[in-house]
Structure 1
Amino acid sequence: MTTRTTLGLALCGAAALAVAQFSTAGRPAAAPDDKAKTAAPAEAKGARAAEFVAAFDKGDAKAVAAFWTPDGDYVDQLGRRYKGRAEIEKLYAKLFAANKGAKLTVAVTSVRAVGTDAAIEDGTTQVTPAGGGATTTGTFTAVLVKKGGAWFFESVRETVAHPATHAEHFEELEWLLGDWEGEAAEKGASGVASYEWAENGNFIVSHFAATLNGEPVAGGTQWIGWDAVDKQVRSWSFYSGGGFGEAVWAKDKDAAKWTLKTTARTADGKKVSLANVITMVDADHLTWQPTQVTVDGAAAPDGPVVKMKRAK
């Protein structure tokens, strides 16, 4: 891991405290009843954020370490543990020296109170090196405690930041994952298909082929994704013969049957529309059938029901 990457990991938690409602870094907060010196919650939040940014921009390791309790700890993404302000300050001093001018952006995703003097905070971070360049991302969970009227870190844990995923929208399609073959794969017309996750779980990728007496005669690749605007599953298909198509997926109540409203273009310029119906018979069997077929606006017969089983 590069020093710049480590800097990103080490600075995640400290910035999160900037959104907590407490006073000056490294100094006790004013007594709660001292109205002349105690800011309102919103004011304290804004002032503290500005103080942290100033400490960060200056590369002030002592001020940053002061966000922790004297015996607080920090664990980075590699599992390395730094215990107490003195050790944390040494870490920041080293990192600041090697990464002058780096900028930090923090997004707090949740804050949960634990009684009146403790809280758990989750968030994400981005560190951008001086002069621009690739950012380093991370996530954190922090335990905050209130001491002497001020909030401090008791513990910060870092984890690797994973890219956003739409995997949760495909939970009712996970039964499709795996390899499928026609029950009559070696007799007459049938088909084969496979479904697998693409990287980060944002798409399911299918490779399919029509077969005749067990031999592939035509096929293609399909990418199944989530449309975040229209809130529905869509797919994009690219056929081995040169055509392509797009479909909107709609499920029945128990998600055992999906209807793919499909529009496609053939390699020779014909416009095709159809409704492909995929039905889960059980965990290891499904049927597939093209219905409501039109070619250049003219109705065509429905296709046969293809019975498929999970390949061993």
Structure 2
Amino acid sequence: MKFIPTLVIAATVLIAPSRADETEEATEKLRQGATRYIEAFNSKDAKAIASLFLPEGEIHTASGEVVSGREAIEAQYQAIFDEDESSQAALEVGDVRFVAPGIAVEDGVVHITRADGELASYSYTALHVAQEDGSWLTARVRDEARDLAGGHAKLQALDWLIGDWLIENEGAKTYISFDWSEDGPFIDARALSESPDALNSRATMRIGWDAAKETFISWSFDIDGGHNTGTWTSAGDNAWLIRVEGVTADGERLQATRKVEVSPNGQSFTWHSQDMAINGELLPDRDIKVVKRPPSPTTDAGE
């Protein structure tokens, strides 16, 4: 069963937007509705996803397949979840436009990490319709091909990441491997952490170019379901500032500023975590040194 690369977003609002302030409020609530879809996807609740559609709602996939009606949508998602119970989703809402009274069009990208650690990203366009009771339901979601050719050229600025890296900290070791993605202009990373005092853990990251914001974006997922999104900006020669927002595996809100400083020879970089907060509670700043290592099949984070 092939994964349907679509994102469905629906939200409940009090009234259909008719003035600027109402439009702003509706836009925000539609964006919040994206979280509801992610929660339903990550909890494998196909019925909840189908309920976000109109009874006659449709999904048009990039391959030309059309899935029509709530029952068919629920069945399709249930088949997806039965095949891969561990897949996790994150999203980037790009734009919400009110094209007519009670009609909104939304564009964005959904990012899926599967049980085997494979990452995939898809664009979508969703049409939402306001209901008489003030709620919004999705009439149609359409996958569209994306022109990503320029992204690879932009990512050359981060090609120093490509390779295998090691973090050693208080007896624990983390092996990280960065490589060019096989399914688009992205840099993908896999990390394996080993500690004598705790269970091994894994995480994945994808870095891409956001043409609208003209900056790099990263999406990270850990094995327990935590995820975050980072916005990268240049901080001078061989340095990057990353603004991070996300959710831990326990459902706590994470915010942090991370600065990456690369050594002149490119064989190491320092990862400064600053202003990090969990549910608003500040945590101590941390500096971590990451050192390049020769590839080793016995410690490759991708195995």
- Normalised to the residue count of structure 2, the TM-score between the two structures is 0.44
- Normalised to the residue count of structure 1, the TM-score between the two structures is 0.43
Structure of larger gyration radius: 1
